[in-house]
Chains A and B, each alone.
Chain A
Amino acid sequence: MRLTAVEVEAFRGFAQLERIDLDADAVVISGVNGVGKTSLFDAITWATSGEVPRLGAYRERKNEEVLVNRYRAGAEARVIVEARASNGQKLSISRTGTSLRGALVVEWGEQRFDGDAAQQCLAEAFEFDDHAQFVRALTDWGILRQDSMRAVLDAKPESFQDTLREMLGLQVLGRFEESVRSVASESSREAAGARANLSRVNVSVERATARLAAITARLADAPGASESRAALLSALGEDARVSATLPDPLGTPELRSWLHALREVRAEVEDIVSVTSALDARVRGVSGVISPDTDASRNAVDKATLTVETSSLAVAKAEALLRTAQAEADDRARLADAALRLLSDVCPVCGQSINEDHLRDHLQLQLADSEAGERINLIQREIDERREALRSAQGALEIAKREDERLQAVAAEIAAIEATRQRIQDRLEVLREPSRGVTVRCADMRREGAALLTLLDRVQLAAVSLLTALEASDLAAEEAAARQAAQAAGEQLTAATRTLEISSARELEAKSVLTASTAAAVDVTRDWLERLTPYFAEVFRRISPHPTFGRLGLSHDVYFGKGRSLPRVYDDLREIDANPNIIFSEGQLSVVALSFFLAFALFARSQELPFVILDDPMQFMDDRNVLGFTDLCRMLRSKRQLLITSHDQRFSELLVRKLEPRLPDQTTLHLRFESWDREGPRIERSHLVSPVLPFVLAGVA
């Protein structure tokens, strides 16, 4: 397959329709910068792939139009690429549209296709499986732009291999590895879930086993149920009142509830018996007192109180008389005392000396013996009598009060006894309810209470015995259920263990495959790159841009679990190697980039493009490297249709000279992009003829 022509209109630098012949095995395109050389390659790229990837980065907006010629605004770009297969069959690839939408039409021989069918036809015409593969080959190694290959070289070490992988179509290895990683993660989650489940099931098994053991132990100690039932009925038979309360049917919960009620009744009866006994004692305490006359005792108290009050009044009255008599006596004494102080030491009458103390005693004696003194004494005796009467009245009052209090207390006790008796009656009324079944009168309680308690005790004992027996029979069912549960838990344990074994095995296998996948991806990539290394080296050696580092290759290692490849150049004489990015000049690095690109373009895949487009590959090279490169191009044209541009006049002339046809089947086309104006490039075309060159050395001995 060879590209034979391109028609371009309203596309990039081409405003007007331009048909450009490409029907040669070497096409040299020369011209200064900005005259439309790159637009021509963009046209080929767009027509065949539907995009121009390099322009994507320059868009200011997503919907910015970047393909339609600026002087043909509103028009649609149109590019037709024509090619011819080795059997002569013609291929026409026509795309019309804008950068936002385009319509592809492919004519392959007599057939015409559009849409997806056109893409598939295009891929198959170039012997690719699908259009995506064809586009990847075209953009990765069909068209070399110096900057894109240098970008690969300039990439960080860890991404260099990724780029090479992508160019080799080995990204499928990465996708495989990711898919295995996903499976490994999923299997790890499953295994973790299975481990957690096994742990839960283990706990269930332990619980079920422990429960079964406990029930089995209780079951071993349980008495027979039928004997216990008969014993209960027998005990109940003695008292129909209580037996009537027995629930029917009589299951364990009913019996347990009934027994609880029975215990309450028993406690109540016991309390009532106790209270009744205490009441009897109290009744005995007030026996004989039919109806205490508390009114009479109250009257007696009132009467005694009145007597005390009267006596007190009489005493007070006598005491007042006494105080009056004593006051009179005191007045006389003071008068006598004043008279004594008026006396001289000598009697004026007799002239004898007067003894005052003797006279004072005498006067007091006279006063005491006087009528006033007698009266005082009389009053004093009366007071004493009345006081005696008062004490007597007070004693009588005290006795009356005590009697009254006693009778009041007896009356209160009788009332309390009556109240207690009423409360007992009320409690017995409660016990008489159908659910309790105890009908005893309060009056009979003293006689029947003890027997009733004995009966209740006996019934209670039989009920407990029956309850134990019933629980024992429930235990048997419970034990069967527990045994079943333990067995089910055991089966769950077996299943969970098996699930965990399977999950763990899967997890282990997935991890193992993941580790192997990572290693295998590294190995395959390394193997592929090592198989390509001779081609890198071959291209590099032909140009030989460095005096000592004469061999190009790749080094491989695994860095943080990821395969890594780095370009290396080797000085075999001194056995030194280095990363060319670090030690090479720009021109020398251009040769390195070109070596990788051409190796990929020529040898990388079984599905290869029939052409190689080199867009200004010599721009950083010095003269010697340019000469080496042009020598390489002379060999390259026999492998691929070669389309090569240069903006440098000198290099263009060199290319034209070097790529002149020298063999009968070679054709060379020189497209000279002379200038550019608003209509598009001005292109001079010249077919270089194959001169008949005699051998210079012919005839030389």
Chain B
Amino acid sequence: MTAAEDPLSVIGLLAADSWSEVGSVFDDLAVGFANWVSARSPGPKRWDIYFVALIQQPLASDKDLNSAEDSTYNMNAVRRLVRAGVLPEAEAVRGALAPFLPLAIVPSRPLGDPLDDLIASLRLNGVTAAVAEGAVTAFRTRGEVQL
């Protein structure tokens, strides 16, 4: 188990291969972690204690699914999160811990002028460059297409 903290949260992280390994003790561990943090005078952060299970295997059975759901709806002392199907890779772990990370997604390609994209798409759909650009330019300047 690993503990982490930032200005917003105190997080306990539990990694396991399957939910069946930790499901039965998850709540106890979560409460134990909350008590451990609370004992250290967290102040307002007492509302920001999280206990996260990172499970490599997906929750394949309904039993595991129900068990994990029950745990996340148990809000006693600590906010519980169960992230299943998380491969031991940085990107997967980053996705699983997204609620604690800033919104920092950068668009792969910014959304610009749709008419520029339209020219490119017209060409891909078989319109010559001259016709595509002429049509869009006329539409831009006069509000109507000219061919």
- A residues lining the B interface (CB < 8 Å): 168-170, 172-173, 175-176, 179-180, 182-183, 187, 506, 509-510, 512-513, 515-517, 519-521, 523-524, 527-528, 531-532, 534-535, 538, 541-542, 547-548, 572-573, 602-606, 623-624, 627-628, 631-632, 634-636, 638-639, 657-658, 660, 662-663, 691, 693-697, 700
**A506–B100 alpha-carbon span in the complex (Å):** 59
- On whether the beta carbons of A509 and B105 are closer than 8 Å, the reply is no
**A200–B113 alpha-carbon span in the complex (Å):** 48
Smallest beta-carbon distance B69→chain A, Å: 5
| Partner of A528 from B3, B42, B108, B111 at Cβ < 8 Å | B111
| Partner of B108 from A183, A531, A548 at Cβ < 8 Å | A531
- On whether the beta carbons of B111 and A604 are closer than 8 Å, the reply is yes
- On whether the beta carbons of B118 and A700 are closer than 8 Å, the reply is no
User: Given contacts A523-B124, A696-B37, are A173 and B7 in contact (CB under 8 A)?
Assistant: no
Q: Mark B86-129, 1 if CB is under 8 A from A, else 0.
A: 00000000010011111101011111101101100110111100
Smallest beta-carbon distance A344→chain B, Å: 158
Residues of A within 8 A of B68 (CB): 547
- On whether the beta carbons of A524 and B121 are closer than 8 Å, the reply is yes
User: Given contacts A513-B131, A520-B124, are A176 and B102 in contact (CB under 8 A)?
Assistant: no
B136 within 8 A of A: yes
Residues of A within 8 A of B75 (CB): 623-624, 627
| Interface members, chain B 43-96 (any A CB < 8 Å) | 43-45, 47-48, 58-60, 65, 68-69, 72-73, 75, 79, 85, 95
For this complex, 9 residue pairs linking A to B, each with C-beta atoms less than 8 Å apart, are A176-B135, A179-B144, A183-B144, A516-B127, A517-B118, A524-B121, A535-B105, A623-B73, A700-B3
- On whether the beta carbons of A638 and B98 are closer than 8 Å, the reply is no
Chain B minimum-CB-distance residue to A598: B103
B25 within 8 A of A: no
User: Given contacts A513-B122, A606-B111, are A573 and B58 in contact (CB under 8 A)?
Assistant: yes
Smallest beta-carbon distance B91→chain A, Å: 13
| Partner of A695 from B5, B110, B136 at Cβ < 8 Å | B5
Chain A minimum-CB-distance residue to B73: A624
**A523–B43 alpha-carbon span in the complex (Å):** 53
Smallest beta-carbon distance A534→chain B, Å: 6
Chain A minimum-CB-distance residue to B101: A635
- On whether the beta carbons of B124 and A512 are closer than 8 Å, the reply is no
Smallest beta-carbon distance B119→chain A, Å: 9
Residues of B within 8 A of A183 (CB): 144-147
Residues of B within 8 A of A535 (CB): 105
| Partner of A547 from B45, B47, B69, B102 at Cβ < 8 Å | B69
Binding site secondary structure of chain A: helix
- For chain B, the count of residues having a C-beta within 8 Å of the partner chain is 59
Chain B minimum-CB-distance residue to A546: B69
Chain A minimum-CB-distance residue to B145: A179
- On whether the beta carbons of B105 and A691 are closer than 8 Å, the reply is no
Smallest beta-carbon distance B134→chain A, Å: 10
- On whether the beta carbons of A523 and B121 are closer than 8 Å, the reply is yes
**A374–B139 alpha-carbon span in the complex (Å):** 152
Residues of A within 8 A of B146 (CB): 183
- On whether the beta carbons of B121 and A624 are closer than 8 Å, the reply is no
Smallest beta-carbon distance A274→chain B, Å: 83
Q: Mark B22-49, 1 if CB is under 8 A from A, else 0.
A: 0000000000000001001111110110
**A548–B99 alpha-carbon span in the complex (Å):** 18
Smallest beta-carbon distance B57→chain A, Å: 10
Residue from B42, B99, B102, B110 having most chain A Cβ neighbours under 10 A: B99
**A516–B100 alpha-carbon span in the complex (Å):** 45
- On whether the beta carbons of B125 and A520 are closer than 8 Å, the reply is yes
Smallest beta-carbon distance B37→chain A, Å: 6
- On whether the beta carbons of A541 and B105 are closer than 8 Å, the reply is no
Residues of B within 8 A of A624 (CB): 72-73, 75
| Partner of B8 from A527, A634, A700 at Cβ < 8 Å | A634
- On whether the beta carbons of B98 and A173 are closer than 8 Å, the reply is no
- On whether the beta carbons of B136 and A176 are closer than 8 Å, the reply is yes
Chain B minimum-CB-distance residue to A700: B3
| Partner of A697 from B7, B10, B101 at Cβ < 8 Å | B10
Residues of B within 8 A of A516 (CB): 122, 125-127
- On whether the beta carbons of B7 and A606 are closer than 8 Å, the reply is no
Smallest beta-carbon distance A669→chain B, Å: 17
Smallest beta-carbon distance A594→chain B, Å: 14
| Partner of A169 from B79, B114, B139, B145 at Cβ < 8 Å | B114
User: Given contacts A170-B114, A547-B65, A697-B5, are A520 and B122 in contact (CB under 8 A)?
Assistant: yes
**A167–B111 alpha-carbon span in the complex (Å):** 13
Chain A minimum-CB-distance residue to B11: A697
Residues of B within 8 A of A531 (CB): 107-109, 111
**A517–B147 alpha-carbon span in the complex (Å):** 13
- On whether the beta carbons of B117 and A528 are closer than 8 Å, the reply is yes
**A548–B60 alpha-carbon span in the complex (Å):** 10
Chain A minimum-CB-distance residue to B98: A542
**A2–B144 alpha-carbon span in the complex (Å):** 38
